[in-house]
Structure 1
Amino acid sequence: MRKVQERFGERISVERRAFPLRPEPDPTVTFKGTYREAAWQRAAAMSAPDGVTFTMWARDDYPTWSLPALEAARCAALQGNEVFERVHLLLFEAFFTKGINIGNREEVIEVVRGAGVDMDRFLKEYDAGSARPQVLKEFDEAHSTYQITAIPTVIFNGGRKVVGATSLEEYLKILNALGVS
């Protein structure tokens, strides 16, 4: 989506919504030998030509949920969209490239620390849990209104829904069909 945004600039509007795959921790979640590992392998193959690296999860503590990272991103957004975008990207890289457990609050805080945010303000909001209601509201809306069950899911004007990792070319075709050029 970042490349689509760069290409089209102000001609499109991208609204990111939080979608915790599990709004509660699930201690049974694993990585090795599951659909998660297969999905990462597909994502790695698809994104390699763009210079994006997916590192297979090597730790024993695969995140049992993503709510701590999603709350952190929403708290960062309170400091502006630019801060949100930096934190969002760093959390993505932390999880998919560096093997950082985004379900672990302390590890998430360390990632955010590297994003140049006002940490006093961030920690005040994060510790208060002020972003959780918004994250859960976005999850509920995505699930109940749009029947979203997977990430990424992109919904275009007119209701067309694209689920899963999708090539830039496919997004360009859809936007062209919608009259965006």
Structure 2
Amino acid sequence: MEEAWGEHLIIERKSFPLRPEPDPNVTFRGTYREMAWRRAALLSAEDGITFTRWEREDFPTWSLPALEAAKCASWQGEEAFQTMHLLLFEAFFTQGKNISRREEIYEVAQEAGLDMETFRQDWETGKARALVWEDFREATATYRVTAIPTVVFHTLQPGDTEADTPRFVEAQRIVGAVPQSEYLRLLHHLINGKG
């Protein structure tokens, strides 16, 4: 979408921890998680995305570590963030890595080509965790996000800058895993002045 609509888009990715605290009892097999995984696999197949069924016993107990890792990667530049962001998704959904475990996150960071000394130092400061919580508060308070993915679309008026925060009432959003065509339909609608 960025390639096709890049000049019309400002994309901001925000963190939203689904499981902000560790839950040692979380499982995959025979739960709503497994059903959702199957549904996501079906919906994303037309976009060429592969979901591999989770086979390990140690399903990730919380989502905060991976979100922190993405924040740490962002401090090494946009390309580093984009690479790490994508590789975290692939690690979890395709390769079956437990991205709530520090050592497995470090493997992904290494694969992403990050400066590992800097990455580890940034991780240890705790600043990334604070920023993840800041994103979470903004998502829930400003945009009333309760699920992911939630993609919020809003239009900037002439004279607005990227720093301007549009009001929620002017925003349109798509909630849940949907085909890419849904995003493109709404983008086309907004860009052509009908949104």
Same structural fold, with TM-score higher than 0.5 when normalized by the shorter chain = yes
Instruction: Give 2:51's match in structure 1, choosing from 51, 54, 62.
Output: 54
Q: Determine the structure 1 residue equivalent to 2:19.
A: 22
Q: Alpha-carbon deviations, 1:71-126, whole Å to 9, x = none?
A: 01000000111100000000000000001001111111111111111111111101
Instruction: Give 2:116's match in structure 1, choosing from 84, 105, 119.
Output: 119
Q: Determine the structure 1 residue equivalent to 2:81.
A: 84
Question: Where has structure 1 moved over 6 Å in runs of 4 or more?
Answer: none
Instruction: Give 1:131's match in structure 2, choosing from 128, 142, 165.
Output: 128
Q: Tell me, yes or no, if structure 1 residue 178 matches structure 2 residue 175.
A: no
Using the size of structure 2 for normalisation, the TM-score is: 0.87
Instruction: Give 1:155's match in structure 2, choosing from 129, 152, 155.
Output: 152
Describe how 1:9-48 pairs up with structure 2 within 5 A: 9-48=6-45
Larger radius of gyration between Structure 1 and Structure 2 = 2
* CA-based RMSD: 1.4
1:142 positional shift = 1.1
Q: Determine the structure 1 residue equivalent to 2:61.
A: 64
Moved more, 26-35 or 57-66: 26-35
1:180 positional shift = 4.9
Q: Residue type of the partner of 1:174?
A: L
Q: Alpha-carbon deviations, 1:147-167, whole Å to 9, x = none?
A: 212111001103112111111
Describe how 1:97-108 pairs up with structure 2 within 5 A: 97-108=94-105
Q: Residue type of the partner of 1:42?
A: R
Asked whether the 8 Å contact 2:47–2:179 carries over to 1, the reply is no
Residue-pair matches, total? 178
Q: Residue type of the partner of 1:175?
A: L
Q: Alpha-carbon deviations, 1:129-176, whole Å to 9, x = none?
A: 221100011112112222212111001103112111111211111112
Query: 2:33 & 2:70 partners in 1: Cα distance?
Result: 23
Gaps of 5+ in 2: 155-169
Task: Give the direction of change, closer, same or farther, for the CA distance of 1:9–1:180 in structure 2 (3 Å limit).
Answer: farther
Q: Determine the structure 2 residue equivalent to 1:167.
A: 179
